[in-house]
């Protein structure tokens, strides 16, 4: 994996990540395909809408379909018939958010499957090897994602462990080979909750280890949005310019643009797909809730400026009918549209960075986004 920083517009960056499965133009949004499928969207549709990379989840894929199966089918790309890059998170977040019971020690984390209650153990080395079996282009280290609020002492202790684990992950990464034909990269994850000195310690330790890219973790977990922006800005300034920066689990369209402005290159979030399945649609004119009666007889396109299958062919009234009638097609069309919007947002952001207009464009778009037909 190689990252080329093409251009900066103040702190906002346009770059290219080169992988064996193709290039990724940053800033980029990565649709979330937790269990080997982006919910309600076909792989050919992801390609159609210009998806350059998707996310998979190590915790989920480890439990189902499992490491043995992933190895026997020669990795996730082949299993799900996806030829572009895949990033997998390490499963740390899911261990902490989905498992009833979990016990952290220096050795790793013991957890209970949310599926069948069975007990499992992830060492830092294990998560590397699971990701070797998955064959993701970009792997993540095992970390502890601290909650919000988080006591300073806990954040400090937790970060020490996260840094130790990162080191062990890196060692395992360097002492193992990829299982399939393509190379894999490894990202470190900066933690430290809302404490700048701990964040700084974390970033320093990780950059001295030297990773292919750096994620900013432990944000978007309930802290005020200003704190999230402040922390993201603080962290990007500490990270090397020649490596991609990934803000994990973020966020709304506004969150993405504010973070791009603060030097973030990569994003993933379930919002466009999960909220889409609940009837919330993102457009240039703000959010729309299609459970709302106001769209009952509205024959206009969901977003006239959008070129997706939904907006080219169907009316707001039809989409609302599909949601009210609980038709699966509602989930398909809303997910497709929301991903189209998120990908457009990042593509347009990149264009504006390249022409040094990012900040002005962002302000204009957000004014329009927040002051139009917000009905959700």
CB of 310 to its own copies, least distance (A): 10
Q: Which of 1, 17, 40, 280 binds its own copies (CB under 8 A)?
A: 40
Which region among 50-58, 76-84, 142-150, 176-184 touches its own copies (by CB under 8 A)? 76-84
Closest CA to 133 of 169, 189, 176, 187: 176
Angle between helices 253-261 and 225-238 (to 10 degrees): 30
Q: What is the largest CA-CA distance in the chain?
A: 62
Q: Are 219 and 247 in contact (CB under 8 A)?
A: yes
Report the SS3 class of residue 190: strand
Q: Which of residues 20-39 bind its own copies (CB under 8 A)?
A: 35-37, 39
Report the SS3 class of residue 148: coil
Q: Which of 16, 23, 79, 207 binds its own copies (CB under 8 A)?
A: 79
Alpha carbon 271 to its chain centroid, in Å, reads 10
Q: Which of 2, 4, 72, 356 binds its own copies (CB under 8 A)?
A: 72
Report the SS3 class of residue 259: helix
CB of 317 to its own copies, least distance (A): 6
Assess 42 for contact with its own copies (CB under 8 A). yes
Q: Which of residues 225-254 bind its own copies (CB under 8 A)?
A: none
Which residue has tokens 């490596």?
243
CA of 98: how far to CAs of 59, 95, 117, 184, 293, in Å? 10, 6, 11, 27, 35
Assess 109 for contact with its own copies (CB under 8 A). no
CB of 362 to its own copies, least distance (A): 33
For its own copies, give the closer residue by CB, 81 or 175.
Answer: 81
Assess 373 for contact with its own copies (CB under 8 A). no
Closest CA to 270 of 43, 48, 55: 55
For its own copies, give the closer residue by CB, 246 or 314.
Answer: 314
The CA distance from 195 to 231, in Å, is 8
For its own copies, give the closer residue by CB, 12 or 334.
Answer: 334
Residue 210: in which H helix or E strand, if any? none
Q: Which of 80, 104, 270, 376 binds its own copies (CB under 8 A)?
A: 80
Assess 147 for contact with its own copies (CB under 8 A). no
Closest CA to 284 of 338, 352, 365: 365
Instruction: Give the x/- contact pattern for its own copies in 309-348, rule: CB under 8 A.
Output: x---xxx-xx--xx-xx-xxx-xxx---------------
Assess 179 for contact with its own copies (CB under 8 A). no
Residue 118: in which H helix or E strand, if any? none
Residue 92: in which H helix or E strand, if any? helix 92-98
**376 burial level (CB within 10 Å; 0-12, 13-18, 19+):** middle
Report the SS3 class of residue 280: strand
Where in the sequence numbering do the catalytic residues fall?
Answer: 89, 268
The CA distance from 263 to 272, in Å, is 22
CB of 165 to its own copies, least distance (A): 28
Instruction: Give the x/- contact pattern for its own copies in 192-231, rule: CB under 8 A.
Output: ----------------------------------------
For its own copies, give the closer residue by CB, 39 or 284.
Answer: 39
The CA distance from 16 to 6, in Å, is 7
CB of 298 to its own copies, least distance (A): 10
The CA distance from 302 to 293, in Å, is 14
Q: Which of 5, 16, 73, 225 binds its own copies (CB under 8 A)?
A: 73
Q: Which of residues 52-71 bind its own copies (CB under 8 A)?
A: 60, 64-65, 69
- Interacting residue ranges for its own copies, rule: CB under 8 A: 35-37, 39-44, 60, 64-65, 69, 72-73, 79-81, 296-297, 299, 309, 313-315, 317-318, 321-322, 324-325, 327-329, 331-333
């Amino acid at each position: 994996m190689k990252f080329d920083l093409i251009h900066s517009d103040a702190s906002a960056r346009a770059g290219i990540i080169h992988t064996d499965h193709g290039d990724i133009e940053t800033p980029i949004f990565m649709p979330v395909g937790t269990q080997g499928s982006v919910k309600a969207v076909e792989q050919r549709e992801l390609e159609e809408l210009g998806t350059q990379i998707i996310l998979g989840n190590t915790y989920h894929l480890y439990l189902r379909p499992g490491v043995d199966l992933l190895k026997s089918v020669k990795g996730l790309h082949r299993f799900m018939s996806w030829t572009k890059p895949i990033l997998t998170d390490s499963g740390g977040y899911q261990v902490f958010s989905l498992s009833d019971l979990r016990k952290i020690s220096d050795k790793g984390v013991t957890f209970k499957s949310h599926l069948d209650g069975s007990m499992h153990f992830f060492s830092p080395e294990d998560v590397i090897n699971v990701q070797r079996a998955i064959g993701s282009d970009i792997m993540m280290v095992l970390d502890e994602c601290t909650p919000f609020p988080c006591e300073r002492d806990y954040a400090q202790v937790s970060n020490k462990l996260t840094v130790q684990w990162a080191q062990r992950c890196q060692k395992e990464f360097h002492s193992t080979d990829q299982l399939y034909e393509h190379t894999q990269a490894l990202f470190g994850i900066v933690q430290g909750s809302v404490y700048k000195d701990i964040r700084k310690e974390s970033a320093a330790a990780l950059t001295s280890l030297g990773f292919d890219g750096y994620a900013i973790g432990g944000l978007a977990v309930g802290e005020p949005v200003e704190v999230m922006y402040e922390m993201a800005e603080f962290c990007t300034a500490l990270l090397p310019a020649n490596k991609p920066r990934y803000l994990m689990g973020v966020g709304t369209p506004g969150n993405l643009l504010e973070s791009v402005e603060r030097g973030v290159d990569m994003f993933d979030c379930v919002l466009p797909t999960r909220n889409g399945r609940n009837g919330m649609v993102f457009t240039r004119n703000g959010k729309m809730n299609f459970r709302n009666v106001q769209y009952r007889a509205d024959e206009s396109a969901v977003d006239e400026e959008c070129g997706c299958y939904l907006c080219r062919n169907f009316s707001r009234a039809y989409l609302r009918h599909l949601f009210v009638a609980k038709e699966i097609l509602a989930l398909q069309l809303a997910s497709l549209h929301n991903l189209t919007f998120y990908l457009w947002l990042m593509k347009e952001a990149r264009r504006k960075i390249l022409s040094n207009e990012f900040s002005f464009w962002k302000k204009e778009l957000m004014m329009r986004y927040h002051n139009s037909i917000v009905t959700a």
